[in-house]
Amino acid sequence: MIAHLTGILLSKSPQSVIVDTAGVGYQILIPLSTFYQLPDEMEKVSLHVYTHVRQDMLQLFGFQTEIEKEVFLLLISVSGIGPKLSLNILSGIGLEDLLGAIVRADSERIAAAPGVGKKTSQRITLELREKASYLSEGAGVLPRERVEIKNKEVFDDGLSALINLGYPSKSARRVIENVLRNNSDMTLDTLLKEALRNLAR
* Distance of alpha carbon 84 from the chain centroid: 13
> Which of 101-105, 122-126, 168-172 has the least mean pLDDT?
168-172
**Would you state the pLDDT for residue 71?**
92
Q: In 3-state terms, what secondary structure has residue 140?
A: coil
AA letter at 12: K
Are 75 and 62 within 8 A, CB to CB?
A: no
* Sequence-ordered list of residues with C-beta below 8 angstroms from that of 134, at least 6 positions apart, any chain: none
* Distance of alpha carbon 125 from the chain centroid: 17
Check pLDDT > 50 for residue 142.
Answer: no
**Would you state the pLDDT for residue 94?**
80
- Higher-pLDDT residue of 100, 120: 120
- Higher-pLDDT residue of 19, 193: 19
% residues pLDDT > 90 (the chain): 42
Average pLDDT over every residue of 46-57: 90
Average pLDDT over every residue of 79-85: 92
Average pLDDT over every residue of 113-141: 81
Check pLDDT > 90 for residue 191.
Answer: no
Report the predicted TM-score, pTM, of the whole model to 2 decimal places: 0.68
Domains and CATH numbers, the chain: 4-63 (2.40.50.140), 66-138 (1.10.150.20), 152-199 (1.10.8.10)
**160-190: pLDDT as tens digits:** 888 878 777 767 877 888 788 767 778 888 8
Are 5 and 47 within 8 A, CB to CB?
A: yes
Q: In 3-state terms, what secondary structure has residue 89?
A: helix
Check pLDDT > 60 for residue 145.
Answer: no
AA letter at 201: R
Q: What are phi and psi of 99, to 5 degrees?
A: -60, -40
**Number of CB atoms found within 10 A of residue 4's CB:** 11
Local confidence band at 40 (pLDDT 50, 70, 90 cut-offs): very high
Angle at 30 between CA 29 and CA 35, to 5 degrees: 135
